[in-house]
Amino acid sequence: MSHIRVVPEMHLILDPATGVIATERDD
């Protein structure tokens, strides 16, 4: 079971290694 959950609607990726949610943004 992968702990990485991807939400297409919000483009959120939770990194299990750091516990940080990385938002795919155009900075």
pLDDT recorded at residue 17 = 76
pLDDT recorded at residue 14 = 66
Q: Per the structure, how many domains does the chain have?
A: 1
CA atoms within 13 A on the CB side of 6: 3
Domain residues for the domain of 10 are 1-27
pLDDT recorded at residue 20 = 73
Cα–Cα distance measured from residue 26 to residue 2, given in angstroms and rounded to the nearest whole number:
26
pLDDT recorded at residue 16 = 74
pLDDT one digit per residue (tens) for the chain, 27 residues: 556 666 555 556 667 777 777 666 665
Cα–Cα distance measured from residue 17 to residue 8, given in angstroms and rounded to the nearest whole number:
21
Whether the model pTM is above 0.95: no
